[in-house]
Chain A
Amino acid sequence: MNALDASGDNLVQITDLTREFSSGGGFLKPRRTMRAVNNVSLDVPRGKVTGVVGESGCGKSTLARLVLRLLEATKGTVTFDGKDLSTQSQAEMRRLRRRMQMVFQDPYSAIDPRYTIRRALLEPFQVQGEAKSASEAKATVDELISMVGLSPRMMASFPHQLSGGQKQRVGIARALALRPSFLVLDEPTASLDVSIQAQIIDLLESLKEELGLTYLFISHDLSLVRYFCDRVVVMYLGRLVEILPGAGARPRHHYAHALLDSNFEPDPTRRKVVTMLGGEIPSPFAKIPGCAFAARCPAANDLCMRERPPLTDLGNGHMIACHNPMD
């Protein structure tokens, strides 16, 4: 229980995490650097679902990869169950990897096109050096595939014979194979229809209860995030701009507000006219001294242009990085 004591209620702790990417640097091309994840600090409470939302390109997938150390950080630390991941040996990392798995965003790249579904589902065991007898393998694969609502008859199929949604379910089954305790779900239901999505969310909810799983859940679907997540983290251009303590909490950061306002309700009697944000999302290479949202924010002032707003606590775990929060 030492590890638990060391990390308290947080399975994962992210501190000042930054990841830079460079491009160019060839002949006559200046080398440019961008911060895909910019000084993010975040605790992921054990047994809870932490949601991450934000525009495409704001750094959600990069954050996910950093957290699992599938990508090295430029700066900052991630601790998993009290262990600083950057100081773990290869062997220790491999043992830890069993406990932390990722479901990738793109169902097309997640499974090797040359593998049958059966082989794709058995691969995690091979990577971990766990051989299985033929009957064990069949039982395992049968269980995994029906867990995600696919027909066992699909086992001999190749990925190209499956629809996008079917492939995504195989990706989820694969991540669950080793019974991890921490699952990073990078838009796991983006390519699925609502009935399969409901099935998968239901499955994730019961797995969480049964196995005490902890999730970091990245999604574009705000209705889903508000249903499924205990807390919602809003990112913009690599920065964390707001943490909503509960899914029902009203956002007070102007970007978080615009984001939630853009969500169409699944109710034809409640159609809305969305307010179009002016301006475009700045280039990720732009050096922005102040608030990253200032170029599009209706409440931006001089201070917003000059100084980066610090993340401050409004109480009850509601955190916001804004100079002039909404009422």
Chain B
Amino acid sequence: MALLSVQSISVSIGKLNPLDGITFTIDKGEILGLVGESGSGKSLTAMCVMGLLPRIGGAITKGSIVFDGCELIGLPEIEFRRLRGKRIALISQNPMTSLDPIILIGAQIDQVSKLHLGLSAEAAKARSLDLIAQLRIPEPAAIHRAYPHQLSGGMKQRIVIAMALAADPDLIVADEPTTALDVTIQAQIIQIMVELVRDRGLALMLITHDMGVVAQACDRVVVLYSGRVAEMNAIGEIFAEPKHPYTRELIRCIPRLGQEPGSLKGIPGTVPSIIDYPDGCRFNPRCGDARELCRAQVPALERKSSGLAACHFSEV
């Protein structure tokens, strides 16, 4: 059984319905990539899994999220708080949303394992130093005694990862964890995260729009389009044989080494606005394969020759 199973969840925020029938699973030891246009619902999906939707006035209107056999929808906040940080940890894009600027780095990491694992002060510190070293930050002891502002952006982001790992979670949700970082540091952090997932049998949900990172790190990929799942497939299939026309277009949009100048073209048309989604398949106004049925009927997410795709006409 999958560690996390998200089944057909829909979300409303006020009058808006930003997510419609999101479905995917993540197994232990697996890295699942979540990609899609800006505004397609990646961050909101992460918030659903983290139980943070109520904080922005949103609600899950249907569907189910089962984590390690436990239904998360309808879970009282007090119980969710026990999961959050301990068994499901979040790494957000901006490290400063997770770090308190006036508390020493060490105290902040120690706190996580004291709170969630019940470690003593000494044991927590030893664990923190160990984690800092594992993330290849030089001089762990000096870092443990530093304030966030004394660290570079890349170091701060590694500290946030250390904090996420401190409680020994089963699932890490990372929302664009390296977007703000340098390429050299990003490469190191992705490499470290992949190693940690493999070594500890963690599950990682990785939101990114960097298709190089997706290709390097992910085992499977969920492609979102306008609040719905377009495709879920193994990494090799996503790049070599995508099943959904949108995935195909997305892959075509990646600039490649040696590509002819002027040959990089976007997907024709505009991304539909959340206040004005088209009927039927939401990709139909931009899809070269669209026919009458696409405008009339929402395609179901179905099993294809590999993976799942929501398209009336993609090959089975």
Interface size on A, residues (CB 8 A): 60
Considering only residues 229-254 of chain B, those with a C-beta below 8 Å from chain A are: 235-236, 238-239, 249-250, 253-254
Contact of B289 with A by CB under 8 A:
no
B255 A227 Cβ-Cβ under 8 A: yes
From known contacts A262-B184, A266-B211, infer whether A153 and B262 are also in contact, taking CB-CB under 8 Å: no
A280 B155 Cβ-Cβ under 8 A: yes
- The residue of chain A having its C-beta at the shortest distance from the C-beta of B272 within the complex is A151
Q: Given the complex of chains A and B, what is the CA–CA distance between A114 and B113 in angstroms?
A: 42
Q: A-contacting residues of B (Cβ < 8 Å)?
A: 35-40, 136, 138, 152-155, 179-188, 190-191, 209-216, 218, 235-236, 238-239, 249-250, 253-259, 261-262, 264-267, 270-273, 275-276
From known contacts A166-B38, A192-B38, A279-B138, infer whether A271 and B216 are also in contact, taking CB-CB under 8 Å: yes
A194 B276 Cβ-Cβ under 8 A: no
The 9 closest A-B pairs by CB, nearest first: A165-B38, A199-B266, A264-B212, A198-B253, A227-B255, A262-B187, A163-B39, A264-B216, A193-B209
Q: Given the complex of chains A and B, what is the CA–CA distance between A271 and B276 in angstroms?
A: 40
- The residue of chain A having its C-beta at the shortest distance from the C-beta of B218 within the complex is A268
A227 B256 Cβ-Cβ under 8 A: yes
Q: Which residues of B contact A205 (CB under 8 A)?
A: 261-262, 264
A-B contact pairs, 24 of them (CB 8 A): A55-B182, A55-B185, A57-B153, A149-B266, A151-B270, A154-B273, A191-B38, A192-B209, A194-B250, A194-B254, A198-B266, A202-B266, A221-B210, A223-B212, A223-B257, A227-B257, A259-B183, A266-B212, A266-B254, A270-B215, A271-B215, A274-B187, A274-B188, A280-B138
Interface flags for A92-109 (1: CB within 8 Å of B; 0: not) read 000000000000000000
- The residue of chain B having its C-beta at the shortest distance from the C-beta of A223 within the complex is B255
Q: Which of A154, A273, A274 has the most CB of B within 10 A?
A: A274
Contact of A73 with B by CB under 8 A:
no
Q: Given the complex of chains A and B, what is the CA–CA distance between A153 and B277 in angstroms?
A: 12
Q: Which residues of B contact A299 (CB under 8 A)?
A: none
Interface flags for A3-20 (1: CB within 8 Å of B; 0: not) read 000000000000000000
Q: Given the complex of chains A and B, what is the CA–CA distance between A272 and B264 in angstroms?
A: 25
Cβ contact of A222, chosen from B136, B183, B265, B270, cutoff 8 A: B183
- Extra A-B contacts (14), CB below 8 Å, given A227-B255, A274-B191: A56-B181, A162-B39, A164-B38, A194-B250, A199-B253, A200-B266, A201-B266, A220-B182, A227-B261, A262-B183, A263-B183, A263-B212, A264-B187, A268-B216
